[in-house]
Structure 1
Amino acid sequence: MADSGLEAAPLPRVAGTDQARVGPLRHRIRREGGCMATQPDRRTSARETLRLRSVEPIFTVTDIERSVRFYTDVLGFVVDEKYNGENGKLQGVMLKAGVCRLGLSQDDWAKGRDRQRGVAVRVWCTTIQDIDALARRVKADGHKLTEEPTDQSWGGRSFAVDDPDGFHLTIYRPA
């Protein structure tokens, strides 16, 4: 076998024993094409890792009432919290679907009225529901899918739709 020029990394050991811990390493080797190159072990980093319990995107929208209708009536979210401004008008909502939350905030137009929205952002939503039935519901409400229900090469099925402000949503069901 030809020398690849890479130094082989020692196998990680179970603390206090001579037993090799190969579970996570086996997956790392597979992802890197089978090469056992030396690399830092992220699990033993000197810095504490970020431990999140959730990520809740908040979209700034042009018409909050229209967006609330899209997310509740079309996609099936429920309103979890509402925020009114000093003038009593709706300024923000937190929506909930299952254990996931999504925020909507009314644009105050301070950065102009012609801002492009949803660029380079895709919200990936995972569900156990029937993808085809959900896609039919979205279309029946008059919205155009940006991707029809499709079987994915890695497994599962998904469709995509843009919300009224152009934010890209993919609804996915794992295999």
Structure 2
Amino acid sequence: MTHNAPPPQVWPTLRARDARGLIRFLVDAFGFREVVVYGEGDVVQHAQLAWPAGGGIMLGSVRDDPDDAWALQPGTFGAYVVTDDVDALYARATAAGAKVTQEPADRSYGSREFAVLDPEGNRWSFGDYRGEPVPD
């Protein structure tokens, strides 16, 4: 992503039982940057984390509310995130306690990638595959 690229317009979102703990993990293990966290005490109403190469995620505390219009269950999120240094990120993530589900490997479609679980059980795959060019 270039410096002139527009801001991301798709924001993956997730809920967590321990949102503040998950934010710390995502920053320490994967290198997300905390942009903003709204809430009091253990409850996070809204948080935004930026990925250094562009894009980001939003998250908040799970709610025990039958009328919740955004009732996502913790541990049901999954994302593929592009990184330039797969092996260094793998070392960082495992040192921070990420549970490995797939060791770093080279794929037939030209990507090197690995997969881990965060403490909430969400699935994260990191690789250097940037996707195919979008046709005009």
Q: TM range, normalised to the smaller chain?
A: 0.7 to 0.9
For residues 20-31 of structure 1, what are the structure 2 equivalents within 5 Å? none
* Partner-residue secondary structure (3-state), 1:90: coil
Aligned residue in 2 for 1:33: none
What is the distance in 1 between the residues matched to 2:98 and 2:75?
18
What is the distance in 1 between the residues matched to 2:108 and 2:25?
30
Identify unmatched segments of 5+ residues in structure 1.
Answer: 1-51
Aligned pair partner of 1:143 in 98, 112, 115: 98
Q: What is the CA RMSD across the aligned residues, in angstroms?
A: 2.4
* Partner-residue secondary structure (3-state), 1:66: helix
2:16–2:60 CA contact under 8 A, matched in 1: yes
Q: Deviations over 1:51-100 (max 9, x none)?
A: x9521011011101110011111111111122125x89532210001221
TM-score by length of 1: 0.59
Asked if 1:171 is matched to 2:129, the reply is no
* Partner-residue secondary structure (3-state), 2:45: strand
2:75–2:121 CA contact under 8 A, matched in 1: yes
TM-score by length of 2: 0.75
Aligned residue in 2 for 1:90: 44
Query: How many pairs are equivalent?
Result: 117
Letter in 2 for 1:54: Q
Asked if 1:117 is matched to 2:75, the reply is yes
Aligned residue in 2 for 1:107: 62
Letter in 1 for 2:65: A
What is the distance in 2 between the residues matched to 1:154 and 1:90?
39
What is the distance in 2 between the residues matched to 1:107 and 1:93?
13
Q: Deviations over 1:92-121 (max 9, x none)?
A: 21000122110111112225xxx5631xx5
User: Structure 2 vs 1, CA of residues 116 and 83 (structure 1 numbering), >3 Å: closer, same or farther?
Assistant: closer
Aligned pair partner of 1:66 in 15, 21, 44: 21
* Partner-residue secondary structure (3-state), 1:56: coil
Structure with higher Rg: it is: 1
Higher relative contact order (CA 8 A, sep 6+): 2
Aligned residue in 2 for 1:37: none
Q: Which structure dedicates a bigger proportion of its chain to strand? A: 2
User: Structure 2 vs 1, CA of residues 74 and 108 (structure 1 numbering), >3 Å: closer, same or farther?
Assistant: same
Identify unmatched segments of 5+ residues in structure 2.
Answer: 1-6, 67-72, 131-136
What is the distance in 2 between the residues matched to 1:56 and 1:174?
19
What is the distance in 1 between the residues matched to 2:121 and 2:51?
20
1:64–1:92 CA contact under 8 A, matched in 2: no
What is the distance in 1 between the residues matched to 2:45 and 2:82?
28
